[in-house]
Structure 1
Amino acid sequence: MIHFPLQSNYARSGVSALTVAMCGVGMIRSGDEWGLTLIIAALGAIVLLLLWRRPPSPAATPHPSEAESAQASQSQTEADFVAARLATIWERSPLAMTLLDPHSPDRDIIILDCNQAACELHGYTREELIGQSIDILEETPWTQWRDSWLSNLREKGRVEGQSSHRRKDGTIFPTEYFTCLVKVEDREVVIGMDHDVTDRRAAELAMKEARDEAEAANRAKSDFLAVMSHEIRTPMNGILGFTNLLHDTELNAEQRDWLSTIRSSGETLLTLINDVLDFSKIESGKMEMDLQPARITRCIEEVVGLLWSKANEKEIELLSWVDPAVPDWVTTDITRFRQVVLNLVGNAIKFTPRGEIEVHAKPHAPIRPGGRDCLAITVRDTGIGVPPDRRDRLFQPFMQADSSTTREYGGTGLGLAISRRLAELMDGSIELVASSAKGSTFELIVAAPACSPPPDAIEHEFLDESALDLTKKRALIVDDNETNCRILTSLLRRWNMETETFYSGDSALKRMENGPPFDIVLLDMMMPGMNGMEVAHHIRASAAAAELPLLLLSSVGHDELRRMGDIKIFDTILHKPVRQSGLFDAVLDAFAIEVDKNQRSAHPFDSGKRTFALDHPLDILVAEDNKVNRKLIHQVLSRLGYAPTLVENGRDCLDALRERPYDIILMDCQMPVIDGYEATGSIRRGEVGLDRSDVHVVALTAAAMVGDRERCIEAGMDDYLSKPIRSDELIKVLDGSTRRIS
């Protein structure tokens, strides 16, 4: 409690200054930046007031001297000046202040004084308020709280809280109040400050509503993603499943290549679906890497193969080159790696009107001390480049280097932002390392230490190139693209071959007429002046080169080549993008080097897996409402040697299980009549017989959201397969079921 001597201006001015200080406290609580300044100023004024000496009263100095009288008069004048200044602060304060008497005879709380802000806030004049009960300003009478409020004031010195005030016109508005008990000589008075928080309450309400709307939108987004996942992944399951089955049939090399492209495209689409589903993980920082042994060379070749047609439409030369020092197998998240490389190469194609794009992979030292070995993948293009003043926007979400970019090229502006985040999660980075009007170069660095092949990898899928020696074999490379010549030269020299390169058919033919002979010729089809087919005819016209192996590298299909001339003139035609393994096979064929090619073309369903059911005898029930998926699962299981029972919904599943026991149920989660979750619950509760309540149930679901696996397990399912179902994953589940039963 603060004590003041009761003397007109001194008392009122001190009270006013203290109120100003209290006002500053409230302003700080409400977020006003100059509240602290107001407190300091008011407290300074109070200190000045209290320390100021009042002139002695006549009782103390009955006979003051002339000098003492003059000094007292000057002090009084100065004190009155200070009091006036403090009274001005009281009057001009922007917050409502009142001076209250809590000890009226009728136990009411009386307004002794108030400032102009209090009058304006409540719609009264000062004369209308002074002498009135505080209840005139309150929605709820304060007199009923008087004793407890006054007790708290005496104990704590101040009480603050929230209240509802009433204006003269009857309107109610919310306030925050601060009250302080002050003792003026022998009399207790209360200083009150009220702050209208209508705007703040409205802002808080708007914020809450916005938060509720955002949460509702987030729930709606999650529901939408779950539905989208199911609706898209269900047909994708059929596409990829039957593509895999077709891949196991007798096909020629070109058909197998086309089918591989279809499968790769489908898997890429599936990856994009997964990316959408994982976006919430990226936002929340919950994205996790799945580190597994992977082949970088194959991945890059698949990316280039996938985007080749798009580049070819713009007559862009899309090239890839993996340094021989890159390990055959590395540990990384190959799905995320592929996603980032796809984005970089896709952007390069989008922003390159003509020219070439080169994808180059090479080893890179750890980017952090003690870190894992890394790989660097550079994507160089001859596109439009990125202006220096716009490069800082490249990796920002929903931003592109230029607003006109979206209109001309499309895109959301999310690709590079997500790619950088994924690169960081792979203990790496992604940067724009060079850019000009002649093109750009992006560099992706990821941690990818060398590792051994996984146990289930197909051995010798690619022949060990280092075991073959093509020393002294001479190759002629004819291609108008300098980068392609460089890549082909590097590959052939990797196999210990000698090479010579020419950029036109004329210069190559002149060299063949006037130099040592070659053992093999690699010709690009589309060259200015003389194309590859014309060069080949000139070579065949020479008796010395009539049997010389000719390899054609073409960006057009067989049908178009046939219209352009006799393709039988070539020993081998390689369609771009040329894979290292494909080129290697062609070279081996040209030199009649015998290899066990069956080792490199082993199928997932070899003769051993066709008898899988003999070693894993299971009676299988499949519950799946989608006709295509039922057919696919039946084909896959039949190839493993099983004869499964097929039903269309959960009710039929329960009926089938009542008729006879099964070892395992492949249960689709989303089915009509009774879904997989409910059907599994009925089984576990013994509704189809206690002796069949422990049947092994494996969830088949097109959902892939966070928590889907947990929901299946909570429903009583034993295992989980996400669509599209892969043969190797299904085999693992069946093997586990056999072990469980035995």
Structure 2
Amino acid sequence: MEALNKRLDDIMTLIAEMANGNYDYTLDVSENENELDALIQGITMLGQELKNSTVSRDFMQSIYQGVVDMLLVLNTDYTIRNVNAALEEAIGMPETELVGQHISVLFSDTENLKLLEVFFELENQGKCTNREFILQATDRQIPASCSFSYLVDKHHQTDGILIIAKDITELKLKERELQEAKEKAEAASQSKSFFLSSMSHEIRTPLNGIVGFADLLADTPLNQTQQQYVSLIRTSGSTLTRLLNDILNLHRIEQDKVELEAIPFDIRATTASHLEPYRYLANEKGLTMDYSFAADVPQVVVGDPTRTIQILVNLVSNALKFTETGSIQVRCSADNQNESTRQVTLRFTVTDTGIGIPPEKQAYIFDAFTQSDQSTTRRYGGFGLGLTICKRLVTLMHGEMGVISMQEGQEGTTFWFTLPLTFVPDADIPAPDSAEDTTFEMPYKADILVVDDNPINVLLIQDVLEQMGAIVTTAVGGEEALQVAIGKPFDLIFMDIQMPGMDGLEATVKLRRLGYEKPIVAFSANAYKDDIAKSLSSGMNDHLCKPFTRKELTEVLRKWL
């Protein structure tokens, strides 16, 4: 009996130890394994279960509190069950003050509708991730990215809602900084566009007078010295015009405003018609120049002929500039020609025997306003824009461009570029007419109104038109143009755009509203495509850009008279 009582006392001690959390306390069992031994084993097993449960719970609690993101657990009625330390610290309130309150206490009033939408989505889809909310702290508002999911018990019944909220304050600050930087860049780009447009207009206006009167002077009796001077004036004017066009081209490319054509054209005839004048220039310089096409080059391809020729002519012009003796060779070959898909890659090479480009400088020659040597600029002239424009145009057309120069056994330089194009089998497109027919006689004594506030430009186009047989009336601004045109339906009006007071666009709009139906042609130094579009949308029929050539003026007159 005494042994039994002691055994019972041991069992009571075991139970007490277990109750106090000492789950490692154990009793030995006898070899007989009687009922008391079975009870001891049962109590010990229960202790181990309690120990494991406590360890697991403590482990999960440590994870819950250790997570750097904010965690909330809601009851099924959307009241707060508990929160972690990260949320307490961010909100500035202890868990004891939050428990039992509705979740909306943590959100601003403007977020309530969004919160309802999230809970509706959670109910239908079981989760809702990465929704942005503004959490309401005691002293500030916290932008947070929140994810919602259900918690389930061991019976797979919904036991609550887990919300994981990530503080995205820094991210929002970066987004705001990026947006501000973007807006500043756009404003700077707009200012740049306005500046270039204005400067283009201011330079083209006097340049129009220089080039135009030089052309008129060239048609008068001149001695040899005078002819040389006039030729130099015309050449200088063309150079300045080309510089303006290059700057505007580069800016349009930078703004992604270049629109490429996709039209069929005869690659052989088009190339030949534009390269033939350079052959004569090369001969005058004592150089030989020829161009050739491989037998497998298709006759007709679909692409942008203007841009293709612009690239090729620029490379040939460079070769002429930097080659003193020897030759220039232009080659065109076909790679990767596929008859079934009608795809072909044309490869153009321009090889000269000129001064060459040092290897260490070849990486920079495609940068804007850059040449391989500053002394090159002083000796040969140039602006360092041509190759930049070529490279970017080739890239726009999904091609590649490169240079090979001063390699062992090679003299001079070879520029090459490739263009992936579509070819047209058995097509018959007539070769372009390269001749510039500038002769034009008025079919009748046309009455033409010239509106421009610059007296030099007025005098220039008046002289040219009168030489062609027109009767010319002039006006110096939009107001005067309205008064003159309303009283007399001219056969054609040349209207400047930028004028003080009423500009050409406003004058045109008012003329059209008054029922004026005769052709109106913009006569402007604004060369941007957007400017031309504005002219046409105001009611004008065409656009003649300053400085104009006699060929361009002739084409306008043929079209509208």
TM bucket (normalised to shorter chain) is 0.7 to 0.9
Aligned partner of 1:376 in structure 2 is 349
Name the SS of the counterpart of 2:499 in structure 1. coil
CA separation of 1:231 and 1:127: change in aligned 2, threshold 3 A:
same
Shift of residue 178 of structure 1?
2.6
**Residues 698 and 95 (structure 1 numbering): CA distance in 2 closer, same or farther, change over 3 Å?**
same
Instruction: Give the 3 Å change call, closer, same or farther, for CA 704–194 of structure 1 in structure 2.
Output: same
Deviation at 1:644, TM superposition (A): 0.9
1:88 and 1:630, CA in 2 relative to 1: closer, same or farther beyond 3 A?
A: same
Residue of 299, 323, 333 corresponding to 2:278: 299
Query: Of 350, 353, 359, which residue of structure 2 is paired with 1:386?
Result: 359
CA distance in 1, matches of 2:224, 2:401: 37
The equivalent residue for 2:290 is: 323
Partner of 1:631: 459
2:221 to 231, 245, 250: 250
Cα distance change, pair 428–250 in 1 and its aligned pair in 2 (3 A): farther
Q: Which one-letter code corresponds to 1:86 in the other structure?
A: M
Looking at structure 1, the residues matched to 484 and 116 of structure 2 have their Cα atoms a distance apart, in angstroms, of 77
Q: Which runs of 5+ in 2 are unaligned?
A: 1-35, 339-343
CA shift in 2, pair 1:662/1:131, >3 Å: closer
Residue identity matched to 1:100: L
CA 134–323 in structure 1, closer or farther in 2 if over 3 Å, else same = closer
For 1:427-446, list aligned pairs within 5 A.
Answer: 430-435=401-406, 441-444=413-416
Which residue does the alignment assign to 2:134? Answer: 164
- CA gap of 1:376–1:321, structure 2 versus 1, over 3 A, is farther
CA distance in 2: counterparts of 1:94 and 1:417, whole angstroms = 51
Which moves more between the two structures, 113-122 or 184-193? 184-193
Count of residue pairs brought into register by the alignment: 491
The partner residue of 1:676 within 497, 500, 504 is 504
Question: Which one is further off, 211-220 or 123-132?
Answer: 123-132
Question: 1:442–1:362: structure 2 CA closer, same or farther, 3 Å change rule?
Answer: closer
> What is the correspondence of 1:657-668 to structure 2 with a 5 Å cutoff?
657-668=485-496
1:221 corresponds in structure 2 to 192
Once the two structures are superposed, residues 312-360 of structure 1 have per-residue CA deviations (whole angstroms, 9 ceiling, x without a partner) of: xxxxxx8632138699xx99645544334445666x59xxxxxx57561
Out of 62, 86, 95, the position equivalent to 2:69 is 95
Distance 1:253 1:288, change over 3 A: farther
Q: 1:90·1:115 contact (CA, 8 Å) conserved in 2?
A: yes
Q: Flag the 1:277–1:162 CA change in 2: closer, same or farther, 3 A.
A: same
For 1:90-489, what aligned pairs fall within 5 Å after superposition? 90-101=64-75, 103=77, 110-127=79-96, 129-130=98-99, 134=103, 137-140=106-109, 153-159=122-128, 161-168=131-138, 170-184=139-153, 188-252=159-223, 255-283=226-254, 284=256, 286-288=258-260, 294-299=273-278, 320-323=287-290, 333=306, 334-343=309-318, 360-369=328-337, 376-382=349-355, 385-387=358-360, 391=362, 393-394=363-364, 397=367, 415-423=386-394, 430-435=401-406, 441-444=413-416, 454-455=432-433, 457=435
Specify which structure has the bigger relative contact order, considering alpha-carbon pairs within 8 angstroms and separated by 6 or more residues: 2
Paired with 1:400 and 1:604, the residues of 2 have a C-alpha distance of 37
Q: Which of 526, 544, 554 in structure 2 is aligned with 1:703?
A: 526
- Measured after TM superposition, the shift of residue 415 of structure 1 is 4.8
Residue 6 (structure 1) aligns with: none
**CA offset digits 1:240-262 (Å, max 9, x no partner):** 11121122223455654553343
1:140–1:164 CA contact under 8 A, matched in 2: no
CA gap 1:67/1:198 in 2 versus in 1, 3 angstroms: same
CA distance in 2, matches of 1:91, 1:706: 63
Deviations 1:247-292 (A, max 9, x none): 2223455654553343233223212212222224423273547975
The question of whether the paired residues in 2 share the 8 Å contact of 1:649 and 1:673 is answered with yes
- Shift in Å, 1:206: 1.8
Listed as ranges, the gaps of 5+ residues in structure 1 are 1-61, 104-108, 306-317, 350-355, 459-602
Task: Tell me the residue number matched to 1:571.
Answer: none
CA contact (8 A) 2:118 2:128 kept: yes
Aligned counterparts of 1:155 and 1:63: Cα–Cα separation in 2:
54
1:401-437 deviation per Cα after TM superposition (whole angstroms, max 9, x unaligned): 99xx789979997653322234567897643223259
Distance in 1, matches of 2:369 and 2:550, equals 41
CA distance in 2, matches of 1:372, 1:80: 73
Kindly provide the amino acid, as one letter, of the partner of residue 203 in structure 1: K
Q: Please tell me whether the aligned partners of residues 349 and 414 of structure 2 are also in contact (alpha carbons under 8 angstroms).
A: no
Pairwise CA RMSD? 4.4
Change (3 A) 1:345 1:97: farther
Shift of 1:95: 0.6
Identity rate, percent: 27
Q: 1:365 corresponds to which letter in structure 2?
A: S
How far does the alpha carbon of each residue in 1:572-604 deviate from its partner, in whole angstroms, 9 at most, with x for none?
A: xxxxxxxxxxxxxxxxxxxxxxxxxxxxxxx95
CA contact (8 A) 2:79 2:103 kept: yes
* Aligned equivalents of 1:254, 1:367: Cα separation in 2: 51
